[in-house]
Structure 1
Amino acid sequence: MTGSLSPNQKGALLMLGSMAFFTINDTLVKLVGETVPLWQIVTVRGVMASVLLLCLARAMGALRFDLSRRDWGLVLARCATEMAVTYFFLSALLQMPLANITAVLQMLPLTVTLCAALFLGETVGWRRSLAIALGFVGMLLIVRPGGADFGPATIYALLAVALLTLRDLVTRQMSPAVPSLTVTFLSAFSVMLFGLGLGFGESWQPVGGREWLLLSATAVLILLAYLCAVMTIRVGEVSAVAPLRYTGLVWALLLGWLVFGEFPSGLTLLGAGIVVAAGLFTLLRERQVAENT
Structure 2
Amino acid sequence: MTAPLTAFAVASLGIAIFSSMDAVMKGLVIALGAYSALMWRMLAGVAISAIPYAASKPRWPAPTVLRIHIVRGIVSAAMAFLFFWGLGRVPMAQAIALSFIAPIIALFLAAAILKEAITRATIIATAMAFAGVLVILYGQSQARLGHDAFLGALAILASAVCYAWNIILMRQQSLLASATEVAFFQSAIVALIYLGFAPVFLTALPLDHAPAILLAALLATASLFLLSWAYRRAEASYLAPTEYTGFLWATLWGWVVFAERVSFFTLAGAALIVGGCILAARRRDHAPAADTEAQLP
TM-score, normalisation: structure 2: 0.77
* Structure 2 residue 92 is matched with structure 1 residue 95: no
Residue equivalent to 2:60: 65
Residue equivalent to 1:39: 35
| Aligned CA-pair RMSD | 3.7
Q: Which structure 2 residues correspond to residues 2-41 of structure 1 after superposition, within 5 A?
A: 18-41=14-37
In structure 1, C-alpha distance between the alignment counterparts of 2:12 and 2:227, rounded to whole Å: 9
- Post-superposition shift, 1:135? 3.4
Residue equivalent to 2:270: 272
CA contact (8 A) 1:105 1:161 kept: yes
In structure 2, C-alpha distance between the alignment counterparts of 1:9 and 1:183, rounded to whole Å: 22
- Pick closer, same or farther for the CA change 1:259–1:163 going to 2, 3 Å: same
CA contact (8 A) 1:8 1:236 kept: yes
- Post-superposition shift, 1:227? 3.9
What do residues 46-84 of structure 1 show as CA deviations (whole Å, max 9, x unaligned)? 1111111112201122x332413x333222211111111
- Post-superposition shift, 1:38? 1.7
- Pick closer, same or farther for the CA change 1:176–1:289 going to 2, 3 Å: closer
CA contact (8 A) 2:100 2:130 kept: no
CA contact (8 A) 2:94 2:136 kept: yes
Pairing partner for 1:226 from 202, 221, 224: 224
* Structure 2 residue 192 is matched with structure 1 residue 193: yes
- Post-superposition shift, 1:178? 2.4
In structure 2, C-alpha distance between the alignment counterparts of 1:18 and 1:280, rounded to whole Å: 17
- Post-superposition shift, 1:208? 2.6
Q: Unpaired runs of 5+ in structure 1?
A: 1-6
Pairing partner for 2:250 from 239, 249, 252: 252
DSSP-derived class of the 1:262 partner = coil
DSSP-derived class of the 2:59 partner = coil
TM-score, normalisation: structure 1: 0.78
CA contact (8 A) 1:43 1:195 kept: yes
In structure 2, C-alpha distance between the alignment counterparts of 1:124 and 1:13, rounded to whole Å: 20
CA contact (8 A) 1:43 1:194 kept: no
- Pick closer, same or farther for the CA change 1:43–1:261 going to 2, 3 Å: same
What do residues 116-161 of structure 1 show as CA deviations (whole Å, max 9, x unaligned)? 2244332223443344344333333333497645712122222222
In structure 1, C-alpha distance between the alignment counterparts of 2:204 and 2:61, rounded to whole Å: 40
What do residues 224-257 of structure 1 show as CA deviations (whole Å, max 9, x unaligned)? 3334445667899999999876554333222211
Q: Unpaired runs of 5+ in structure 2?
A: 289-297
CA contact (8 A) 1:97 1:262 kept: yes
The percentage of counterpart residues that share the same residue type is: 22
Match for 1:97: what amino acid? Answer: P
In structure 1, C-alpha distance between the alignment counterparts of 2:235 and 2:256, rounded to whole Å: 33
- Pick closer, same or farther for the CA change 1:197–1:141 going to 2, 3 Å: farther
DSSP-derived class of the 1:34 partner = helix
- Post-superposition shift, 1:93? 1.7
Residue equivalent to 1:55: 51
What do residues 178-233 of structure 1 show as CA deviations (whole Å, max 9, x unaligned)? 2332232222112212333344423x544333211211221122223334445667
- Pick closer, same or farther for the CA change 1:237–1:133 going to 2, 3 Å: closer
- Pick closer, same or farther for the CA change 1:206–1:234 going to 2, 3 Å: closer
Residue equivalent to 1:123: 117
* Structure 2 residue 280 is matched with structure 1 residue 289: no
